[in-house]
Amino acid sequence: MRSAVREEHQEMEALEQYRAMLDVAIAEARTGLGEDGIPIGAALFDAGGQLLGRGRNRRVQENDPSVHAETDAFRKAGRQRSYRDTIMVTTLAPCWYCSGLVRQFNIGTVVVGETVNFQGGVAWLRENGVQVVDLQSRECADILSSFIAANPAIWNEDIGHDLETPNPNSSGAGP
């Protein structure tokens, strides 16, 4: 009984830490929105919660389709001996491109702000042993859904869909 209570307490502490980490990613998303970019933010932390790098989607600002929030945070973190114990925190489920980065470098945990607007590679990451925690943040969902409503062409470009092709993610079905 005591060990079950202790585990529950540890899980609650981890969720509190993840929410605090998500605040860093949300600040990045809001900065990106202020730059007329896509409001997705990310941050990479070590196992102890130390911030290694933070970033935001800069596709629009830099006219570079490869600058997603996760890749921006990853690059700013610099070289690490290992990524196995790192935690990637992102305001939105990572797309296939960013999910590939997580798998390539064996990032052990991905904390997602929301999966309502886009499910990306979450199921695939879980199937491949990555711990994925969905915080179901209303704030993250609201920021992005407002952007999508106002900028559908930019959003569809970001996730690799044109407006003439039905978007399989519009219902949250995933890519």
Q: Which residues are catalytic?
A: 70
User: Between the CA atoms of 23, 134, 128 and 165, what dihedral angle is there, to the nearest 10 degrees?
Assistant: -100
Dihedral sign from CA coordinates of 120, 159, 116, 24: positive
Q: How far apart are CA 71 and CA 110, in angstroms?
A: 13
Which pairing describes strands 109-112 and 131-134: parallel, antiparallel, or unpaired? parallel
